Amino acid sequence: MPKGSHPDSSQSTVADQRPRSGGTPEIFGDISAIERRSRREQVSEELALSEATWHAAFESAPVAIAEVDLEGTIIRANQAMGDLLEMAAGELEGTRIAAYYHPIDRSDLERRVVTLSHGPTTEMVQRHIVTARGNDRWATALGSLVERGHGRGGPIRIYLVDTTDAHLAHERIAMAQARFGALVEHGSDAIVVEDAIEGRIVYASPSLVAVLGLPPAEAVGSTLRHLVNSDDLADPDQRRSRLAGPGTVISFDCRARHSDGGLRHLEVTSTNLIDDPAVHGVVNNLRDVSDRVAAAARLTHQALHDSLTGLPNRALLIDRLDQALARAARSGRPCALLFLDLDNFKQVNDTLGHAAGDKVLMAVADRLRDAIRPGDSVARLGGDEFVVLAENIEEPSVAVTIAKRARARIAQALIIGHDTVRVTCSVGIALSDYHSADGLLHEADLALYRSKESGGDRSEIYDQAMRAQAERRAEVEDLVRAAIENCEDLLALHYQPIVDLTTGTTIGAEALAYIRRPEGTMMRPGEFIPIAEDSGLIVPLGTAVLDLACAQQAQWRAANSGQDHVAVNVSARQLAASGFVRTVSDTLATYSLRPDNLCLELTETSLIDIGPDTLVRLHDLKAMGVRLALDDFGTGWSSLNHLRRFPIDTVKIDQSFVAGLGQNASDTELVKAVVDLGHALDLTTTAEGVETTAQDDLLRTMGCTQGQGFLYGRPQMAP
């Protein structure tokens, strides 16, 4: 709109034509008309002057101003209005102001325009503006009716102050507050604010109901110490001092009683916001970590307990033992360690199956729990090994009594399915000398070994003699280890001839393991074989013996000595090892021996609790063509069944019976019976320990096939 052609002039004309309230009636004639006219002109001039001033102010005003008619059509708008509505000011003219208001504000706008036609101004309101380009703006709006001094209802001026920035900022704050509020109100953590002075709770969030079952109102006025387990909450003074600095954050775990009676584990994070004017207190975040604590406890329990019986395992036992030893050292009252091992448990597993074996172990665990005194503990070390730790043992007899009670309980018949099982156990007892847990366990183990050695089903107390024996065993083990590592020099195999009793010729030799001591003397197998068996060293030792013996047999063959086989003693543990058959075939191949150049001697006792896998292994060896001999026959179970069950070629009659030949009737009868049995079952019979010609004569008469003993040759090293 061109400047000067003010729309107001036409409007004011229209307004002037309307009767003024309290105006002079036409009846007063010309004078008043002249008067009126001159006054109107005067007002018009004044108006024209103020219009000019107004116009300049209008255009340059920093406030957006628009003048609209009573229909809401924009008559004119200033630059600031154009900027606000994102349209050239001139182009706004003729458009409707309502078009720039958000729909929700439009009806109110219309109402206010109507109000304005009767009154001078409206109060300020907040408006949501939508610009010509469709952008959202917010403004504070004020409307006023333009008064022309001679009438009302002139255009309306609308003033808009852009408050978009403030509005958006406010909205952001409001949103953040709402979000924060929602977090506090609906979060799973409970928030508890303590006042700065007394530590009284001034605020508790609704989540306190979820966390502790407590309505927030009930918590307000009380203290944090009151809410949680007071024993777990750090000393209040200490907590206060740790929380002293403004902004300090501390965390601690504690327990709290839920209103349902259950105990909950809480992780409390306290933040000192005493200096924060909005809080002026300590804000505590209470998080229920019961699940996490329970999971951790489960893991710890699993790590420290045996899964089958639920008893403490070795790790926990060692821990308890350490503590018990420390207590014993303080009190002067020793503690006792009872090491229990079931006798022949393997048989239970083999005959009734592992499930039954597990049931036996569980029952033993229960019985041991029953047998101990309150305060003592039972642990399972694995397999069929259990330990009882008993404290405050005034004298060794107390420990022996506990062992007796435990053995008696365990020995009671046990019904498993349709079977009645009876297990006995051997016990080794050690009393604390205030030394280490490992040391005590070791001593109890040695005592257990002694009780096993003495036939089992008994208890033994560790003593000085055992200590000496233990040292001796350790020395022997070292020698065996050295012999395995350096077998060419230290493993000095001795060979004892085996003769054909009908021809008197040497047909084979038994290899016996001797170990050369550092000083050059020989250690006999009787001294170290049992120790090597116990420590497991027998397996590598046996492999070395097999290798050396086969090497020797290959040499004899090459020299045409007439010895068609070498006999090698094999222990039960070697046979139980899965690679044994392979080791044998590889060794034979290495020395280009025929399988029947090798005879493996197995003692009857080693075959007693043979498992199905081992039996298959025996049959594999037999199928390969290796000879198998049952050694020391008569000393074990001497069961005819064994002779049938195992695929053996030879029975070696133990020297103890041969020694009584011709002197002791029953020995003579027994040897005769075995020889006859050999004939019946088509087995070779070898008499061991033949020392006299009388024995030799008798054996020949009986029809014994082979002989071995000092009479024919002592064990000696191959030349």
Contact call for residues 505 and 499 (beta carbons, < 8 A)? yes
By the rule CB under 6 A, 719 interacts with ligand C2E: no
Residues sharing a CB contact under 8 Å with residue 50, sequence separation 6 or more, in sequence order? none
Query: Which of Mg ion, ligand C2E, none binds 691 (CB below 5-8 Å, type-dependent)?
Result: ligand C2E
* Tokens linked to 623: 């199928």
Q: Which of 139, 266, 368, 545 binds ligand C2E (CB under 6 A)?
A: 545
CB of 601 to ligand C2E, least distance (A): 6
CB of 398 to ligand C2E, least distance (A): 41
By the rule CB under 6 A, 163 interacts with ligand C2E: no
Residue 138: how many CB atoms within 10 A of its CB?
A: 21
By the rule CB under 6 A, 153 interacts with ligand C2E: no
Contact call for residues 49 and 84 (beta carbons, < 8 A)? no
CA count, 13 A, side-chain hemisphere, 44: 11
Contact residues for Mg ion, defined by CB under 5 A: 569, 601, 631-632, 688
Residue 513's H or E segment, with its range, is strand 506-516
Site for ligand C2E in 252-311 (CB under 6 A): none
Site for ligand C2E in 591-650 (CB under 6 A): 601, 631-632
Query: Of 62, 44, 55, whose CA–CA distance to 6 is shortest?
Result: 55
Query: Which of ligand C2E, Mg ion, none binds 180 (CB below 5-8 Å, type-dependent)?
Result: none
Q: Cα separation of 502 and 100, whole Å?
A: 132
Helix (H, G, I), strand (E, B) or coil at 39: helix
Query: Of 710, 717, 664, 662, whose CA–CA distance to 688 is shortest?
Result: 710
Q: Which of 513, 548, 588, 626 binds ligand C2E (CB under 6 A)?
A: 513
* Tokens linked to 21: 């309230």
201: β partners: 194
Residue 192's H or E segment, with its range, is strand 190-195
By the rule CB under 6 A, 710 interacts with ligand C2E: yes
Of the pair 78, 655, the CB lying nearest ligand C2E is at: 655
Token pair 């010895």: residue: 563
Length of the chain: 719
Residue 375: how many CB atoms within 10 A of its CB?
A: 10
Of the pair 139, 602, the CB lying nearest Mg ion is at: 602
Query: Which of Mg ion, ligand C2E, none binds 571 (CB below 5-8 Å, type-dependent)?
Result: ligand C2E
Query: Which of ligand C2E, Mg ion, none binds 360 (CB below 5-8 Å, type-dependent)?
Result: none
Of the pair 569, 587, the CB lying nearest Mg ion is at: 569
For helices 437-453 and 314-331, the axis angle rounded to 10 degrees is 110
Of the pair 271, 571, the CB lying nearest ligand C2E is at: 571
CB of 602 to Mg ion, least distance (A): 9
Of the pair 154, 709, the CB lying nearest ligand C2E is at: 709
65: β partners: 159
Query: Which of ligand C2E, Mg ion, none binds 496 (CB below 5-8 Å, type-dependent)?
Result: ligand C2E
Q: Cα separation of 463 and 399, whole Å?
A: 14
* Tokens linked to 565: 């086989």
Of the pair 159, 514, the CB lying nearest ligand C2E is at: 514
**Which range binds ligand C2E by CB under 6 A, 122-130, 242-250, 445-453, 524-532?**
524-532
Exposed, middle or buried: residue 574 (CB in 10 Å: 0-12, 13-18, 19+)? buried
- Please, what's the b/e burial string for 377-415 (b: 16 or more CB within 10 A of its CB; e: otherwise)? bbbbbeebbbbbbbbbbeeeebbbebbebbbebbeeebe
Of the pair 359, 494, the CB lying nearest Mg ion is at: 494
CB of 380 to ligand C2E, least distance (A): 31
Of the pair 206, 636, the CB lying nearest Mg ion is at: 636
HEC-encoded secondary structure of 441-508: HHHHHHHHHHHHHCCCCCEEECCHHHHHHHHHHHHHHHHHHHHHHCHHHHEEEEEEEEEECCCCCEEE
Name the residue type at position 234.
A
Query: Which of Mg ion, ligand C2E, none binds 472 (CB below 5-8 Å, type-dependent)?
Result: none
By the rule CB under 6 A, 368 interacts with ligand C2E: no
By the rule CB under 6 A, 709 interacts with ligand C2E: yes
Residue nearest to Mg ion (CB): 601
Q: Cα separation of 275 and 291, whole Å?
A: 35
Of the pair 439, 662, the CB lying nearest ligand C2E is at: 662
CB of 491 to ligand C2E, least distance (A): 9
**Which range binds ligand C2E by CB under 6 A, 128-136, 184-192, 309-317, 567-575?**
567-575
Of the pair 432, 571, the CB lying nearest ligand C2E is at: 571
CB of 688 to ligand C2E, least distance (A): 6
φ, ψ for residue 558, nearest 5 deg? -60, -30
CB of 513 to ligand C2E, least distance (A): 3
**Which range binds ligand C2E by CB under 6 A, 180-188, 365-373, 413-421, 705-713?**
705-713
By the rule CB under 6 A, 512 interacts with ligand C2E: yes
Query: Which of ligand C2E, Mg ion, none binds 306 (CB below 5-8 Å, type-dependent)?
Result: none
* Tokens linked to 220: 């307000």
Q: Cα separation of 166 and 138, whole Å?
A: 9
Residues sharing a CB contact under 8 Å with residue 227, sequence separation 6 or more, in sequence order? 192, 201, 212, 214, 219, 256, 286
By the rule CB under 6 A, 524 interacts with ligand C2E: yes
Of the pair 156, 651, the CB lying nearest Mg ion is at: 651
Q: What is the DSSP string of 297-327?
A: HHHHHHHHB-TTT--B-HHHHHHHHHHHHHH
By the rule CB under 6 A, 689 interacts with ligand C2E: yes
Q: Which of 205, 432, 451, 496 binds ligand C2E (CB under 6 A)?
A: 496
By the rule CB under 6 A, 571 interacts with ligand C2E: yes
**Which range binds ligand C2E by CB under 6 A, 146-154, 499-507, 584-592, 684-692?**
684-692
Query: Which of Mg ion, ligand C2E, none binds 69 (CB below 5-8 Å, type-dependent)?
Result: none
Query: Which of ligand C2E, Mg ion, none binds 710 (CB below 5-8 Å, type-dependent)?
Result: ligand C2E
Number of residues in contact with ligand C2E under rule CB under 6 A = 24
By the rule CB under 6 A, 337 interacts with ligand C2E: no
Q: Which of 400, 448, 529, 630 binds ligand C2E (CB under 6 A)?
A: 529
Residues sharing a CB contact under 8 Å with residue 639, sequence separation 6 or more, in sequence order? none
Query: Of 60, 90, 61, whose CA–CA distance to 74 is shortest?
Result: 90
Of the pair 180, 710, the CB lying nearest ligand C2E is at: 710
By the rule CB under 6 A, 162 interacts with ligand C2E: no
By the rule CB under 6 A, 480 interacts with ligand C2E: no
Q: Cα separation of 387 and 380, whole Å?
A: 6
Exposed, middle or buried: residue 79 (CB in 10 Å: 0-12, 13-18, 19+)? middle
Q: Cα separation of 301 and 286, whole Å?
A: 26
Of the pair 569, 685, the CB lying nearest Mg ion is at: 569
CB of 333 to ligand C2E, least distance (A): 46
By the rule CB under 6 A, 187 interacts with ligand C2E: no
Q: Which residues bind ligand C2E (CB under 6 A)?
A: 496, 512-513, 524-526, 529, 538, 542, 545, 569-571, 601, 631-632, 655, 688-689, 691, 708-710, 715
